[in-house]
Structure 1
Amino acid sequence: MKLAAIVIVYYPNIEDLKINIFSFIEDIDKLIIWDNTPAKDQSHFNLDFPEIRNKTLVFTTGKNEFIAYPLNEAINWCLENGYNYLLSMDQDSLFENGSFRRYVNKIKLNQDFKIAIFGVNPNGQFLTRESFLETNWFITSGSIYDVSIIKKIGGFREDYQIDCVDNEICYKVITNGYKVVVDTHCKMNQIYGSPLKSKYGFTTSGYSPFRTYSILCNHILLWREYPNMLDRNLKRTILKDYLIYRFVKIILAEDKKKKKLLALFNGLIDGLKGKRQQKFVG
């Protein structure tokens, strides 16, 4: 097993990033740091870590490429350089002590060659069990991909950019006859967004107009493309949380109301039409 990793960063907290990287660096063969920070600001973030310089590559295009494009580029790099697995990590994901090494060792012992994606247990959301838990979806961070399978089925969907990239690749894997599994013993601490408490007592995501558009539009596109893969809970979440509650929270508790409401409307319409705006500006 030859394992590379990619950490996609955007205006990172360097000290936190270093801690997170050092929770898995000893058990991988090569690390790609993909810098999505715009070129004008990159000089403010020193991504050169002397202790692991021999293991590390830094890639960037000088602009924010989101998630899917860097992942596809990393898959291609792995195939060109003889790596058969790729770990994908967010800049704010941290493995619990010793957890990642056990995860990798378990994958090395795996004999099921239909498994295309291995995942872990973020924030303890899964009950632990000895064998891998088969599932139909797992977040990008903490996933280890069989690069040959991911390339064979067409890679990550780049027009999605960021939202639902994880859902889509898992659904594509399964519809092509492969498996997605979770190692429930591998614990990873994961931060989801930056929720804000409103004066009305509820929390709101505070997402930008772009993310407001992207979350709703991409989930509707996903629903259209994989109608039999989405369970009832996710369909309810799309309608309730990403559309109705999002509308209410923008009205009551967020700034940039006009832009965000327009983004929500456009996300709904474009999702129903089946094509998102690639240069949506909120």
Structure 2
Amino acid sequence: MDNKKMKLAAIVIIYYPDIKDLQKNIFRYIDDIDKLLIWDNSPSDSQTYRIALDGYEDKVEVLTTGKNEFIAYPLNQAVKWCMENNFTHLLSMDQDSLFDVGEFKLYKNRVHKNLGNKNVIFGVNPNNKFRKQNDFLPVNWFITSGSIYDVNIINKLGGFREDYKIDCVDNEICYRTNLNGYRTVVDTKCHLNQIFGNHKKTIFGFTTLGYSPFRTYSILCNHILLWKQYPQQIEKELKKEIVKEYFIYRFVKILLSENRKIDKSMALFYGFVDGIRGVRKNRFC
């Protein structure tokens, strides 16, 4: 593929954002993209989020359905928008993800140089998870935020799994991409500051993310669905994490240190049962 033909849009999905932080995060990459789609998941009866991006008004388009559509649906709408407007690639960003100064420009340039060779999804190095190396690192999966997608191939593969809504959307699209003979690769040199959940230290010495019943259900159910669908692709470490962190330890933490103990315990129960049955339901929404 001719590198000069790459046309890059970005989508940032927001939900009750801190406006100042969001502006700061956007300014770290907006100069190096061709269009920014801001998808607002905040319900229409909440406050309207006016994000001042002076000088970039023509580069920004705000999209919403007036309700929380989570992650997969907005990503599919962004892919559709890219296809209709002749954009070749899509950058996906969380509202609280932050590139270091000048980091995104370097990342984009390295992606340019590595187009082709069946590279379809490019990822970054969140919180320096991966050891840095010169070449792009092929991996089974990585997080959605900071990823650049070849929209034509993603569309060909059927897009993102909307029934997953939010959790494991990143794992699933990467596994499916690899199974279809394409590659998912990480630029280990590109560091992204990423916040995973709302960590809180408890009086017992451990930390808890304090997820809602909906997310408690979603995390366990989706990971089990993922395990059943991609038994060969899912890593041994993630299998252990599903059993230990997302079920056993999560249950203990709920009982010892979190509120809404009954709701969250029921969410774990139904997450396990529905996951084993292979059918996710609209519970705890």
Tell me whether the two structures share a fold, i.e. TM-score over 0.5: yes
Give, in angstroms, the shift of residue 76 of structure 1. 0.5
Say if 2:89 and 2:148, in contact at 8 Å, map to a contact too: yes
1:38 aligns with 2:73: no
Name the SS for the 2:189 alignment partner: strand
Give, in angstroms, the shift of residue 111 of structure 1. 4.6
TM-score (norm 1): 0.98
Give, in angstroms, the shift of residue 22 of structure 1. 0.4
Match of 2:116 in 1: 112
Match of 1:140 in 2: 144
Amino acid at match of 1:151: N
Match of 1:21 in 2: 26
Match of 1:71 in 2: 75
Give, in angstroms, the shift of residue 262 of structure 1. 0.4
Amino acid at match of 1:252: L
Name the SS for the 2:12 alignment partner: strand
Query: How far does the alpha carbon of each residue in 1:101-144 deviate from its partner, in whole angstroms, 9 at most, with x for none?
Result: 01111111225340110001111111111110110001000000
1:2 aligns with 2:15: no
Q: Take 1:105 and 1:175, find their aligned partners in 2: how far apart are those partners?
A: 27
CA separation of 1:77 and 1:113: change in aligned 2, threshold 3 A: farther
Query: How far does the alpha carbon of each residue in 1:72-118 deviate from its partner, in whole angstroms, 9 at most, with x for none?
Result: 00000001001000000000001111111011111112253401100
Give runs of ≥4 in structure 1 deviating > 4 Å: none
Q: Take 1:47 and 1:268, find their aligned partners in 2: how far apart are those partners?
A: 40
Query: How far does the alpha carbon of each residue in 1:202-237 deviate from its partner, in whole angstroms, 9 at most, with x for none?
Result: 111100000000000000000000000111100000
CA separation of 1:76 and 1:111: change in aligned 2, threshold 3 A: closer
Residue 97 of structure 1, aligned match among 96, 101, 109: 101
Give, in angstroms, the shift of residue 50 of structure 1. 2.9
Match of 1:226 in 2: 230
Match of 1:187 in 2: 191
Name the SS for the 2:45 alignment partner: helix
Q: Which moved further from structure 2: 64-73 or 99-108?
A: 99-108
Residue 211 of structure 2, aligned match among 207, 213, 216: 207
Give runs of aligned pairs for residues 162-201 of structure 1, distance below 5 A: 162-201=166-205
Match of 1:280 in 2: 283
Match of 1:258 in 2: 262
TM-score (norm 2): 0.97
Q: Take 2:47 and 2:184, find their aligned partners in 1: how far apart are those partners?
A: 35
CA separation of 1:70 and 1:243: change in aligned 2, threshold 3 A: same
Q: Take 1:149 and 1:156, find their aligned partners in 2: how far apart are those partners?
A: 12
Say if 2:75 and 2:160, in contact at 8 Å, map to a contact too: yes
Say if 2:23 and 2:52, in contact at 8 Å, map to a contact too: no
Match of 1:270 in 2: 274
Structure 2 unaligned residues grouped into runs of 5+:
1-5
Q: Take 1:192 and 1:73, find their aligned partners in 2: how far apart are those partners?
A: 24
Q: What is the Cα-based RMSD across aligned positions, in Å?
A: 0.9
Amino acid at match of 1:280: R
Give, in angstroms, the shift of residue 48 of structure 1. 4.4
Tell me the number of residue pairs that the alignment of Structure 1 and Structure 2 aligns: 280
Q: Take 2:240 and 2:114, find their aligned partners in 1: how far apart are those partners?
A: 35
Say if 2:125 and 2:192, in contact at 8 Å, map to a contact too: yes
